Amino acid sequence: MNFTNTYLNRVYQDVAKRYEHEPEFLQAVTEFFESIELIISTLPHFEEQGVLERLVEPERIIQFRVPWVDDENHVQVNRGYRVEFNSAIGPYKGGLRFDPSVNLSILKFLGFEQTFKNALTGLPLGGGKGGSDFTSKGKSDREIMRFCQSFMSELYRHLGPNTDVPAGDIGVGSKEIGYLFGYYRKLRNEFTGTITGKGLSYGGSMVRTEATGYGVCYFVQEILKNQAHDTFVGKRVIVSGCGNVGIYAAKKAIELGAIVVGMSKTNSCVIDEHGVDLNLITRLVQDKKDLMSYSDIYPHARVSSSNKELWKVPCDIALPCATQNELDVEDAKILIQNKVKIICEGANMPTTLEATALFIKNGILFAPGKAANAGGVATSGLEMSQNSIRESWTFEVVDEKLKAIMSRIYHACYEASVRVGQPGNLVLGANISGFLKVYDAMVHQGII
């Protein structure tokens, strides 16, 4: 990859060489650099203050061992991480991911994206991400608790409501958040809103569980309204992923009048032309079953052991809500052939760069994750506000605030795309709009 701007190209080549072993991080940097090249020459003090060099390096990376004792009384050791990427506009904010795939490349990619995603919300939140190569699958509650307490016994010293505020992510749900927060509270001897995604009985926020999935649909609503002069009513929708994001994106799409005709998870897929039974899918997920048994109840439905079958289903709107790079260029070709109209990312960069470029080239309305899935972190920010003032807002109040935030994000992205002469290119718009806020803060605060 080569860029016309000499400063941009020099920094990119240095990053590509230094981090050639971190493909996910380089993917995020590449997409970002492609966008900001359009405005870089208009920005004062950019090169002189080394803004790019500072942007691509995390302010701090914390790596530590996490020893814990399993139910057989054997000592296990995992790796723990926290990447505190950028705090120019507020305390670090981003989830914790517990999954065997966790490594520094993935966490740097997520932390880098989180920086601009958080800026887009309009809330004073910096970017960070963390986690461990631990998995809760197959572990007892006591084992999960012991791991979480060991993890927090190191991480707690780096956290605080005005310093770094983690939340959940893949593998970190309400159970893990409870154990992590409980031990943080014990170690610090204080009750603060240092972790978000908490239970409602101890400082959590209404809508937090639903927020990312709902936010994705609110973002699509804005695209439909402003760029297609249309609504969700009657639209055929497919959703990948059956975690909170996918389930609640499907739920909200149905509430808004769409027909969800296909859903998938890691090892299975269901296609139901009558519209999926979301309650059944939710039960299957809760029972830790794949989607193959869906057809036992609905024989007319098609099921597959391949989640890739989802992208072959003709639809108007596709919502990739599972994981990074799940939708590749071959999938994109099929979706385009089947006349998809909107792709909206519910996960973090679930579409490869090649697939994204192909969608945009073919005039498909494409919403990048750093904008479209910001509802989760936005509601985490609202949880922090409620914790700070010792209040608890109703579901309706939080939901209205979430809608307003997603609308603001959409319009900020669209206006930035107009600024660079490519109206409707929301990938460019999201990168540029989020970046400009971080850039302004970094320049005004000096070289630190």
Alpha carbons 25 and 166: distance in angstroms, whole number: 20
Give the pLDDT band of residue 145 (cuts 50, 70, 90).
very high
pLDDT score recorded for residue 285:
94
| C-alpha–C-alpha distance, residues 448 and 442, integer Å | 8
* Assigned CATH topology for domain 211-372: Rossmann fold (3.40.50)
pLDDT digits (tens, 9 = 90+) for 83-97: 999 999 999 999 999
Average pLDDT over residues 340-348: 97
91-130 residues labelled b (16+ CB within 10 A) or e (exposed): bbbbbbbbbeebbbbbbbbbbbbbbbbbbbbbbebbbbbb
CA separation for the pair 283, 264 (Å, rounded): 14
pLDDT averaged over the chain? 96
Task: Note whether 60-191 and 211-372 share their fold.
Answer: yes
Catalytic residue among 108, 117, 129, 252: 129
- Structural domain boundaries in the chain: 6-55, 60-191, 211-372
Average pLDDT over residues 217-242: 97
Q: What is the pLDDT of residues 201-215, one digit of tens each?
A: 999 999 999 999 999
pLDDT at 225: 97
Tell the residue number behind the tokens 């975690």, with chain if given: 243
> Is residue 166 within a helix (H) or strand (E), and if so which, with residue range?
strand 164-167
Q: Which residues contact 432 (CB under 8 A, 6 or more apart)?
A: 35, 36, 38, 39, 416, 417, 419, 420
Mean local confidence (pLDDT), 159-179? 96
- E-strand ranges in 284-427 read 302-304, 317-320, 342-344, 365-367
- In this predicted structure, the answer to whether residue 19 has a pLDDT above a threshold of 90 is yes
> What is the Cα–Cα distance from 143 to 136, expressed in whole angstroms?
8
Q: Is 129 a catalytic residue?
A: yes
Amino acid at 95: G
CB 35 within 8 A of CB 80: no
User: How is residue 172 written in tokens?
Assistant: 């970190």
For residue 333 the two structure tokens come to 């070709």
Asked if the model's pLDDT at residue 45 lies above 90, the reply is no
Q: What is the dihedral of CA 217, 223, 225, 227, to 10 degrees?
A: -160
Instruction: Give the predicted TM-score (pTM) of the model.
Output: 0.94
In this prediction, residue 44 carries a pLDDT of: 86
78 is written with which tokens? 């995992």
Give me the mean pLDDT over the 380-392 stretch: 96
- List the structure tokens of 234: 């009657």
CB-based contacts of 389, cutoff 8 Å, min separation 6? none
Q: What is the mean pLDDT of residues 291-308?
A: 96
Q: What is the pLDDT of residue 1?
A: 84
Q: Using one digit for the tens of pLDDT, what is the confidence trace for 65-74?
A: 999 999 999 9
Q: Which pLDDT belongs to residue 41?
A: 87
What percent of the chain clears pLDDT 90, i.e. is strictly above it?
A: 96
pLDDT (average), residues 179-197:
97
Q: How far apart are CA 163 and CA 213, in angstroms?
A: 27
The pLDDT tens digits of the residues spanning 118-130 come to 999 999 999 999 9
How far apart are alpha carbons 209 and 168 in whole angstroms? 10
Per DSSP, the residues of 386-431 read: HHHHT----HHHHHHHHHHHHHHHHHHHHHHHHHTT-TT-HHHHHH
Q: What is the pLDDT of residue 257?
A: 98
Cβ partners under 8 Å of residue 233, min gap 6: 256, 257, 258
245 confidence band (pLDDT: 50, 70, 90): very high
Q: What is the torsional sign of CA 110, 115, 121, 125?
A: positive
- CATH architecture, domain 60-191: 3-Layer(aba) Sandwich (3.40)
- The pLDDT-based confidence of 22 (bands split at 50, 70, 90) is very high
- For residue 389, pLDDT over 90 is answered with yes
Strand order in the sheet with 236-240: 302-304, 268-271, 259-265, 236-240, 317-320, 342-344, 365-367
